[in-house]
A and B are shown apart, each in its own frame.
Chain A
Amino acid sequence: MQLTKLAKNHWVLAAFLLACLIYPFVIDSRYLTRVAMEVFFFAAMGNAWNIIGGYGKQTSWASSTFVAVGAYTSILLFVRHGNISPWISMIPAMGLAVVLAIIIGLPCFRMRGVYFAIATIACTTIFRQLLIYFSDFTGGSLGVAFMIRRGNSLWNLHFDSAIPFYFIALAWLLITVGIVTYIERNRLGHYLRAICDDQDAAESLGIKSSGVKLTAFIVSGMMLSVTGVLYVFQLGFADPNTFASHDMSVRIAIVAILGGMGNKWGPTVGALVSVPLLELSNAYLQHIGGGGAGWVMYGLLIVIIVLFKPNGIISIFDNFDLKKLGLGGGASGRP
């Protein structure tokens, strides 16, 4: 397992962290700082997806539902119920994520393979349509936006500069990596890998596969929900197309799959590649085909990775000798 060698290579990790720490000050561009923040958020969501999709090989397309639950819970509590702090509304957000994970998970985990994939898509679609339908409560397809907010407040998660949020996102990314590492080393991780290798064999050894999957799904959903809370306070609004769409689920899953499924650094690597590619090409190729050019490149990247590096970008580093690679090559913080 050279992958773990990469992960355990403290030098690469330290270089990455250092690059992340000085990045916003060196770059000194609000836009590029926000792009990096987007990278961290998507890496964190990819990490959450990785628990169920990577380690458990249950390709879930329901991620956006959990992100949307977090986002809507916190923004509605803030806007409609007297500025309740996002740090407090994280608790009901996580609670709702657990409930939803059970509602979605119980029927879906009885299915396998493509049936599971399509069932999760069906659940997300139902959720999105309900968000649009109950427009009195959720603002319909227009969504909810914050009133104008002023001043810096960590309690209300609002800052004039992009830099504090950048560090919050970075911290949350590191926490999610920590959670994934913890799961990887503990019983849940071993069970998940056993199920993913051969579900029937794992069950015959006494592992209750649906229970294990459901636990992983709940953990993953809670992490996505928290990310949704942070993300919506950074973005300033919540609408079904940004948060609850199928595209969002796809982007989350693709971050992890591009980077490398079942690898705790995979989603980070995947986000470092895919998010800047999409953001920058949307920004600079805007005039070509109404932004279509950026998405063509994104799609081609997915196709190329699936065809030639099915184990993800991180598997490119498998064949490298890290000592030859030196410190700077593997993980630069520059998206």
Chain B
Amino acid sequence: MLQVTVNGLLIGGVYALIAVGLTMIHGVMKIVNFAQGDFLVIGLYLTYVFYQFLPDGALPYWLILPVAASMYLIGCIIFKLSINRVIGQGDSNYILLTIGLSFVIQNMLQLMFGANFRSVPISNELRFGSFEMFGTIFTIPRVIAFCAAALFVVFVNWFLSRTDVGRAMRATSENRVVAESLGIRTSRIYVIAFALGTMFAGVSGLLLSPMFLVFPTLGAAFSTVAMSAIVLGGLGNIKGALLGGIIIGLVESFVSTYISVTVALAGINLVLMLVLIFRPYGLLGKRRRTA
């Protein structure tokens, strides 16, 4: 029981990190990125490529800077080329655009790396390492991923409330026109927010590299989970994303232990539906008139 809870919390932390990236994008430009999971997979492949330049047995976590920087750049490019044009044009446009992007990314990756499963050649000590505490087993990659995710969430909170760019971001999210009249260059804020969101996805990919095999269509599952997390918690709300991610991790862990792994995803979605039935705007979300 305790073991199941711990497993759920640990994986939930990583889901929360992906969801925070998604929230960053949604909060500022009101776009839910359906390709977020695919950005995560790009991060995994980048880790895979960069890792070959490291000496044998090195920790993949040293790659955080190059992976984050490349993901930021990729985010900027994708934003400038496409996302830029659909901001504020209604839901179906961006949904479709990001779904199209997700097709392109998945299959570009398949063209470049093939459809085979690959794994980052990390030493087995890290991959299968674990320690025991309070009678439960903690696997090391998950603990590291969880701690890193927690650190990142704290960092984002600090960034949004204490830095100029973060404040400008919140202002833009609140009301673009007013923000612009106050001298904030909202178009730049958009780029930064999107690129940061992409970067978070990429970093989550890096953190997950010891736990998952890499293949081009891996992202779909993460997209769904991350979207469920932010909707569950309430859109545009960092705390909501955190809460949503952890709840989803817990539900997944409990359902796959006590019922069956095949219905874990169904369990997550069932919880999501139940929450939405009673709180149509998520757990921490506020009603906002959209019409």
> What is the bound-complex CA distance between A130 and B270, given in angstroms?
11
Answer whether residue B102 sits at the interface, using C-beta atoms and an 8 A cutoff. Answer: yes
In contact, B269 and A307 (Cβ under 8 angstroms): no
In contact, A118 and B110 (Cβ under 8 angstroms): no
Answer whether residue B70 sits at the interface, using C-beta atoms and an 8 A cutoff. Answer: no
In contact, A288 and B111 (Cβ under 8 angstroms): yes
Known: A115-B231, A295-B107. A126 touches B97 (CB 8 A): no
Answer whether residue B130 sits at the interface, using C-beta atoms and an 8 A cutoff. Answer: no
> What is the bound-complex CA distance between A254 and B96, given in angstroms?
8
Residue ID in chain A nearest B96 by CB atoms:
A306
> What is the bound-complex CA distance between A38 and B200, given in angstroms?
40
Answer whether residue B7 sits at the interface, using C-beta atoms and an 8 A cutoff. Answer: no
Answer whether residue B86 sits at the interface, using C-beta atoms and an 8 A cutoff. Answer: yes
Which residues in B have their C-beta under 8 angstroms from that of A290?
110, 114-115
**CB-CB contacts of A57-101 with B at 8 A, as 1s and 0s?**
101000000000000000000000000000000000000000000
In contact, B273 and A292 (Cβ under 8 angstroms): no
Known: A129-B263, A292-B110. A113 touches B290 (CB 8 A): yes
Which residues in B have their C-beta under 8 angstroms from that of A307?
82, 85-86, 97
Chain A interface residue count, CB cutoff 8 Å, equals: 49
> What is the bound-complex CA distance between A138 and B276, given in angstroms?
29
In contact, B97 and A292 (Cβ under 8 angstroms): no
Answer whether residue B91 sits at the interface, using C-beta atoms and an 8 A cutoff. Answer: yes
A300 partner, pick from B104, B231, B265, beta carbons under 8 A: B104
> What is the bound-complex CA distance between A107 and B272, given in angstroms?
11
**CB-CB contacts of A120-135 with B at 8 A, as 1s and 0s?**
0111011001101100
Selecting from B12-20, B183-191, B220-228, the interface stretch reads: B220-228
Which residues in A have their C-beta under 8 angstroms from that of B273?
107, 119, 122-123, 126
In contact, A303 and B92 (Cβ under 8 angstroms): no
Nearest CB of B to A274, in Å? 11
Taking CB atoms and an 8 Å cut-off, the chain A residues in 297-318 that contact chain B are 298-303, 306-307, 310
Which residues in B have their C-beta under 8 angstroms from that of A117?
91, 95
Known: A129-B262, A310-B93. A296 touches B111 (CB 8 A): yes
> What is the bound-complex CA distance between A326 and B89, given in angstroms?
35
In contact, B231 and A118 (Cβ under 8 angstroms): yes
> What is the bound-complex CA distance between A62 and B97, given in angstroms?
18
Answer whether residue A198 sits at the interface, using C-beta atoms and an 8 A cutoff. Answer: yes
Nearest CB of B to A301, in Å? 8
Which residues in B have their C-beta under 8 angstroms from that of A111?
276, 280
In contact, A257 and B92 (Cβ under 8 angstroms): yes
Taking CB atoms and an 8 Å cut-off, the chain B residues in 227-276 that contact chain A are 227-228, 231, 235, 260, 262-263, 265-266, 269-270, 272-273, 276
Nearest CB of B to A292, in Å? 4
Which residues in B have their C-beta under 8 angstroms from that of A310?
89, 93
Which residues in B have their C-beta under 8 angstroms from that of A302?
96-97, 99-100, 103
Nearest CB of A to B223, in Å? 10
Q: Which of B260, B280, B282 has the most CB of A within 10 A?
A: B280
> What is the bound-complex CA distance between A111 and B232, given in angstroms?
13
In contact, A289 and B111 (Cβ under 8 angstroms): yes
In contact, A292 and B107 (Cβ under 8 angstroms): yes
Which residues in A have their C-beta under 8 angstroms from that of B108?
292, 296
Taking CB atoms and an 8 Å cut-off, the chain B residues in 146-178 that contact chain A are none
By secondary structure, the B interface counts as helix
B228 partner, pick from A59, A112, A122, A288, beta carbons under 8 A: A122
Answer whether residue B32 sits at the interface, using C-beta atoms and an 8 A cutoff. Answer: yes
| Contacts from B to A (Cβ < 8 Å) | 32, 82, 85-86, 89, 91-93, 95-97, 99-108, 110-112, 114-115, 216, 220, 224, 227-228, 231, 235, 260, 262-263, 265-266, 269-270, 272-273, 276-277, 280-282, 289-291
Given contacts A118-B231, A118-B272, A301-B100, 7 further A-B contacts (CB under 8 A): A114-B32, A115-B276, A123-B269, A129-B262, A290-B114, A302-B103, A306-B97
Answer whether residue A200 sits at the interface, using C-beta atoms and an 8 A cutoff. Answer: yes
Q: Enumerate 24 A-B pairs (CB-CB under 8 Å) in ascending A order.
A: A111-B280, A112-B291, A114-B32, A114-B95, A118-B228, A119-B231, A122-B269, A125-B265, A129-B269, A253-B96, A290-B110, A292-B111, A293-B111, A295-B103, A296-B103, A296-B111, A299-B100, A299-B104, A299-B105, A302-B96, A303-B82, A306-B86, A306-B96, A307-B86
Which residues in A have their C-beta under 8 angstroms from that of B265?
125, 129
A289 partner, pick from B107, B220, B224, B228, beta carbons under 8 A: B107
Nearest CB of A to B33, in Å? 11
Known: A59-B95, A292-B107. A119 touches B100 (CB 8 A): no
B276 partner, pick from A119, A250, A298, beta carbons under 8 A: A119
The 6 closest A-B CB pairs, nearest first, are A299-B103, A302-B100, A129-B266, A289-B111, A292-B110, A299-B104
> What is the bound-complex CA distance between A299 and B281, given in angstroms?
31
Nearest CB of A to B224, in Å? 7
Residue ID in chain B nearest A307 by CB atoms:
B85
Answer whether residue A264 sits at the interface, using C-beta atoms and an 8 A cutoff. Answer: no
> What is the bound-complex CA distance between A298 and B263, given in angstroms?
31
In contact, A303 and B281 (Cβ under 8 angstroms): no
> What is the bound-complex CA distance between A302 and B98, given in angstroms?
9
